[in-house]
Structure 1
Amino acid sequence: MPETDSPAPGRTPEKPKRSTARRITFLVGIGLILAGLGLLGYVAWQLWGTNWVSKRHQREITTNLQEDWAAGEGCDTYCPHGKASALIRIPKFGQKYVVPVIEGTSQDILARGYGHFEDTAAAGQVGNYALAAHRVTHGEPLRRMPELRPGDKVIVETRKFTYTYVLDTDPNKLVIPFTGTWVLDAIPRNPDGGPQPKQVKGQKLITLTTCSEIFHTDNRMIAFGHLVDTVRKTKLAPVNP
């Protein structure tokens, strides 16, 4: 009879050994799955987690700032780096929209509200009150920036005054590289001849800057406006819940 590979009676067939290549492929697959889960977790944190944390900080800073003002405390025309100096309201974004302004523009500051560029004018003063804020993640104060149009109001509340600015330019019509620091000048002059404020000395301007796209980009969307009204505060606005 011909020989066969059948095992002898009473013996269990041996399982074929898993090759080294198959083990490596299996481990690589597991690694890719874990990496994918980690990436999804990171994205979820950036899109939702940072917003939750930042909005909580914004509420705390807003409440503390209003309480300081009510007690006659807090800085006025000059505030040190890292300190909250004002509150921003943009009626087009809804009645509940209020975000603190903090002196400086570091990542830590922008995670807590608007950042006020150093060496630009203070709110309500002659020159350019230049602000930056995130469009996505970290509270996303300017997520709806593309909806703004000339004529929309930006209300800036400080310890003693409430300033009302009106936008003059459409943010969708001015997108520049992050290196375009000319927008921070006292009277910004567009080197490409595009949108810019009126080239008149003594103006009280405001500049809003944010990312030009929802996700990471090195370009910035810009809107310019000018001061139209100044009201000295006689009583404190109610603390937001």
Structure 2
Amino acid sequence: MTTDPAGPSPRRHAHARRRPRRRRLLTTLGLALVLTGLSFIAYVGWELYGTNIIAAQKHEEIKEQIAEDWANNIDSNAAGLLRVERWGSDYEIPIIPGSDLLDSTGRSALASGVGWYEKGAGPGEVGNFVLGGHRSGRGAVFKRILDLRAGDLVEIETRTHLYTYQLRQNGDEIKVEYTTSWPLFPVPDPNSRGATPTEPLLTMITCAEMFSTDLRRIVIGELVDVQEKAPATAST
């Protein structure tokens, strides 16, 4: 038997050194992918569930403040309370003013309740009273919009009045691009740009899909009843 007096070749040594480095690289890459996946899952979980918990707490805080203000005949910072008959007797969400549903005030309003497009009409006023809400995350206040049916009643309570609107169509009838502007018109109709409103209307706007913001669902209602509330007796 002969032996190699020169020992293992330099090429064999170099190859042996590269293998541990390759294993370490693959291990590091695998860990990075796992951490990225876990981070994404945590983010989605927070957006879908964590923000709902925070929003629900915020809703209760605002409603408590509304009750206190109204008991003292003070107009609250919130515009009122929204109730939707089809969504159950426990559905009651504060309506938060926002100068625009897409600017910073609008995003803040949507995160705290139902956002009211202040540039439009107010509750019960002639014109278009526009409300926006999320379908997923941040309270998901309009998550059941597809359940709505023509004829359903929507109640808006303010410090002084109860306004009842009746929906004109089902929640799944109108779907538009998110850039569509006619739902914000004083007369919410694609053929009514610049028209003068003659009746009090309600328009509810939300995302068409649960996890997409490219399209919007629109539901329109008309005012069918107004009740004036008795003045509250201020607490002492």
TM-score bracket, normalised by the shorter chain, equals 0.7 to 0.9
**Residue 230 of structure 1: SS of its match in structure 2?**
strand
Tell me which protein shows more helix as a share of its residues: 2
Equivalence for 1:40 = 41
Equivalent-residue separation in structure 1 for 2:156 and 2:114 (angstroms): 11
Residue by residue over 1:170-199, the C-alpha shift from the partner in whole angstroms, topping out at 9 and shown as x without a partner, is 2211111111111111112225xxxx9xx9
Equivalent-residue separation in structure 1 for 2:55 and 2:124 (angstroms): 27
* Matched residue type, 2:198: G
* Matched residue type, 1:148: L
Q: CA deviation at 1:118?
A: 2.4
Q: CA deviation at 1:3?
A: 4.3
Map residues 23-172 of structure 1 onto 2, 5 A cutoff. 23-75=24-76, 83-104=77-98, 105=101, 106-172=106-172
1:207 to 203, 209, 222: 203
Is the Cα–Cα contact under 8 Å of residues 178 and 213 in structure 2 kept in the other structure?
Answer: no
- Say if 1:73 and 1:201 are closer, same or farther in 2 by CA, change over 3 A: closer
Q: CA RMSD in A?
A: 2.2
Equivalent-residue separation in structure 2 for 1:153 and 1:135 (angstroms): 20
Listed as ranges, the gaps of 5+ residues in structure 1 are: 5-15, 76-82, 237-241
Q: CA deviation at 1:203?
A: 0.6
Equivalent-residue separation in structure 2 for 1:140 and 1:110 (angstroms): 10
* Matched residue type, 2:213: T
Stretch deviating more after TM superposition (226-235 or 128-137) = 226-235
Aligned length: 214
Equivalence for 2:187 = 187
Stretch deviating more after TM superposition (20-29 or 173-182) = 20-29
Stretch deviating more after TM superposition (101-110 or 34-43) = 101-110
Q: CA deviation at 1:102?
A: 0.5
Equivalence for 1:79 = none
Q: Report % sequence identity.
A: 36
Q: Is 1:173 aligned to residue 167 of structure 2?
A: no
Is the Cα–Cα contact under 8 Å of residues 120 and 129 in structure 2 kept in the other structure?
Answer: yes
Equivalent-residue separation in structure 2 for 1:183 and 1:147 (angstroms): 20
Residue by residue over 1:129-177, the C-alpha shift from the partner in whole angstroms, topping out at 9 and shown as x without a partner, is 0010001100001000000011001100001000000000122111111
**Residue 111 of structure 1: SS of its match in structure 2?**
helix
Listed as ranges, the gaps of 5+ residues in structure 2 are: 5-15
Is the Cα–Cα contact under 8 Å of residues 206 and 218 in structure 2 kept in the other structure?
Answer: yes
Q: CA deviation at 1:63?
A: 1.3
Q: CA deviation at 1:205?
A: 0.2
Equivalent-residue separation in structure 2 for 1:216 and 1:200 (angstroms): 33
Is the Cα–Cα contact under 8 Å of residues 128 and 187 in structure 2 kept in the other structure?
Answer: yes
Equivalence for 1:9 = none
Residue by residue over 1:29-50, the C-alpha shift from the partner in whole angstroms, topping out at 9 and shown as x without a partner, is 1100000110010011011100
**TM, length-normalised to structure 1:** 0.83
Equivalence for 1:8 = none
Q: CA deviation at 1:201?
A: 4.4
* Matched residue type, 2:82: I
Stretch deviating more after TM superposition (139-148 or 164-173) = 164-173
Equivalent-residue separation in structure 2 for 1:144 and 1:200 (angstroms): 32
